[in-house]
């Protein structure tokens, strides 16, 4: 009998999800090699970003982290992966170079998460797992991501917000992927009115582009995000071994140990998980009308993978259940107006480059079904919805019954209460 911790399917059979990185590893390798060459050409005496310098110092001075990451880089290289860097010093030059990098569009080899591409293989090597879940390492990675987010929130991040082909986000090729006419833009203005890359990434739909399903029927629960169904688990436990191959959901770990009473409310209930596409809408909306009873952020990891999955072609690709308990995330709980629905907890999970899960509601606030709750600021992301036991009769797009379900539009019918 295979171990419950045995690695999943071979790397060659696994796919990168969500278009955050190219499906073909050779395209990612080519990107890494090009990026590393550009970083070396522009490098001075070492990292210029204060946050990257601090990370470099940590990795130099902490013997355990230095040993682990050095080994992980060697293991990835020995396995045949073209990293473009040979050691920690060269890796830090690449990370520093990315602090002023704005992602270009690409129709064939889009890399929306360049740090994920750079860390991709060391983070899921035998020696890399412990490094990328180390609390001190993640605290410093958060500083790096915050520094990069500051650049992406400024005017200099708009280098590719133009209609030029092939790398402009307003080009005909990009429009075919995104459907720009659905979104609020001001084409008569420079950069179509977007103030930064992050402003473009969190763009809003035009009025009426995503109508709320059955706004007057409290039993109809709508999708809080534009996301593709990933997993559905029933009869979930308060505490479970989320790190094993099957990645069962562990409620107390998902919502935080300090919220055990909240976690107990969902014991025996249902967890639905979906992931967002790189081209998707990245704002969150209320799945039902009701009152916000909880709204908070949880610190966590950024590039930590489940060891039981083995090497993952997108690092976090096959670890989405695991990330629900480990990654930086936001938790928003809505008490539905209809007692038959009860409370619904939405766990918005940052993956990779996401350094900010922005909560824009507060406890006690009344929200209508479909009203905005917050957003992801840049990077890959996934969401879990927690339903109380006996409250949900049907999940419309059940990934356990439907092969390759479509992306569920935000505000579309997702579930029906009993």
- pLDDT tens string 200-211: 999 999 999 999
Q: Identify any residues that bridge with 348 across adjacent strands, giving them in sequence order.
A: 330, 383
pLDDT digits (tens, 9 = 90+) for 88-119: 999 999 999 999 999 899 876 667 788 988 99
Question: Is 2 part of a structural domain of the chain?
Answer: no
pLDDT band at 282 (very low <50, low <70, confident <90, very high): very high
Number of domains observed in the structure of the chain: 3
Domain annotation covers residue 151:
yes
pLDDT level of residue 12 (50, 70, 90 thresholds):
very low
**Residue 249 sits in the same domain as residue 360:** yes
DSSP string, 29-90: HHHHHHHHHHHHHH--SS--SHHHHHHHHHHHH-HHHHHHHHHHHHHHHHTT---S--SHHH
Which of 155, 179, 209 is where one domain is finished? 155
Q: For residue 104, give its domain range.
A: 13-155
46 lies in a domain?
yes
Q: Indicate if 176 and 112 belong to the same structural domain.
A: no
182 and 121 both lie in a single domain = no
Using alpha carbons only, how large is the chain's radius of gyration in Å?
Answer: 21
- 16, 314 contact by CB (below 8 A): yes
Regarding whether 173 and 144 lie in a shared domain, the answer is: no
Secondary structure of residue 388 in the 3-state scheme: coil
More confident residue, 259 or 45: 259
- Number of C-beta neighbours around residue 371 at 10 A: 15
8 Å CB contact between 122 and 94: no
Shared-domain flag, residues 268 and 186: no
For the chain, the farthest-separated pair of C-alpha atoms sits apart, in whole angstroms, at 64
- pLDDT beyond 70 at 6: no
59 domain residue, yes or no? yes
Residues 86 and 164 in one domain: no
Residue 211 counted as domain residue: no
**75 and 127 part of one domain:** yes
Category of 304 on φ-ψ map: left (φ > 0), alpha (ψ -120 to 50) or beta: beta
Residue 237 burial (CB count, 10 A): 16
Say if 5 falls within a structural domain: no
Does residue 6 sit within a domain? no
Residues 339 and 409 in one domain: yes
- Cα-based distances in Å from 341 to 305, 336, 380, 386: 34, 6, 30, 12
Q: Report CA-CA distances (Å) from 325 to 209, 247, 348, 370, 373.
A: 33, 10, 11, 26, 21
Q: 104 and 19 in one domain?
A: yes
Q: Phi and psi at residue 398, in whole multiples of 5°?
A: -85, 110
30 and 79 housed in the same domain? yes
Whether 149 and 172 map to the same domain: the answer is no
Q: Among residues 15, 54, 34, 248, which one has the least CA distance to residue 145?
A: 54
Which domain-ending residue is among 155, 185, 209?
A: 155
Domain co-membership, 243 together with 389: yes
- Which pLDDT score is estimated for 315? 47
Determine, yes or no, domain membership for 215: no
Q: What is the CATH number of the domain that holds 397?
A: 2.70.70
Which residues on neighbouring strands pair with residue 327, listed in sequence order?
Answer: 301
Output the pLDDT for position 268: 98
Is a pLDDT exceeding 60 seen at residue 398? yes
Torsion sign over Cα 314, 317, 322, 325: positive
Residue with tokens 């990315």: 98
């Amino acid at each position: 009998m295979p171990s419950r911790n045995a690695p999943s399917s071979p790397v060659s059979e696994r796919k990168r999800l969500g278009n955050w990185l190219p499906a073909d590893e050779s395209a990612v390798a080519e990107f890494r090699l090009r990026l590393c060459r550009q970083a070396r050409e522009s490098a001075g005496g070492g990292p210029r970003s204060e946050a990257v310098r601090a990370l470099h110092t940590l990795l130099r001075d902490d013997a355990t982290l230095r040993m682990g990451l050095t080994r992980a880089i060697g293991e990835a290289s020995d396995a045949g992966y073209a990293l473009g860097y040979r050691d920690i010093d060269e890796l830090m030059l690449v990370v520093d170079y990315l602090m002023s990098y704005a992602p270009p569009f690409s129709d064939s080899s889009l890399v929306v998460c360049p740090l994920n591409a750079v860390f991709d293989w060391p983070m899921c090597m035998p020696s890399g797992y412990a490094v990328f879940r180390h609390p001190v390492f993640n605290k410093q990675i958060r500083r790096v991501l915050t520094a990069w987010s500051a650049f992406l929130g400024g005017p200099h991040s708009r280098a590719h917000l133009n209609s030029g082909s092939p790398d402009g986000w307003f080009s005909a090729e990009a429009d075919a992927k995104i459907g720009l006419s659905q979104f609020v833009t001001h084409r008569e203005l420079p950069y179509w009115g977007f103030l930064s890359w992050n402003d473009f990434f969190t763009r809003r739909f035009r009025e009426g582009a995503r109508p709320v399903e059955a706004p007057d029927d409290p039993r109809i629960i709508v999708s809080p995000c534009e996301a593709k169904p990933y997993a559905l688990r029933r009869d979930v436990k308060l505490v479970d071994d989320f790190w094993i191959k099957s990645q069962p959901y562990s409620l107390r770990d998902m919502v935080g140990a300090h919220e055990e009473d909240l976690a107990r409310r969902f014991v025996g209930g249902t967890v639905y998980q979906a992931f967002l596409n790189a081209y998707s809408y990245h704002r969150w909306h209320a799945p039902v009308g009701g009152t916000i009873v909880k709204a908070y952020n949880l610190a966590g990891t950024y590039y930590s993978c489940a060891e039981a999955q083995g090497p993952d072609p997108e690092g976090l690709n096959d670890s989405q259940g695991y990330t629900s308990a480990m990654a930086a995330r936001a938790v928003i709980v809505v008490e539905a107006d209809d007692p038959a629905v009860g409370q619904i907890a939405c766990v918005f999970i940052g993956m990779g480059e996401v350094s900010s899960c922005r909560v824009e509601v507060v406890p006690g606030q009344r929200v209508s079904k479909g009203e905005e709750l917050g957003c992801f600021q840049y990077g890959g992301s996934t969401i879990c919805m927690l339903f109380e036991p006996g409250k949900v009769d049907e999940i419309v797009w059940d990934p356990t019954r439907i092969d390759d379900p479509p992306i569920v539009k935000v505000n579309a019918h997702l579930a029906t209460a009993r």
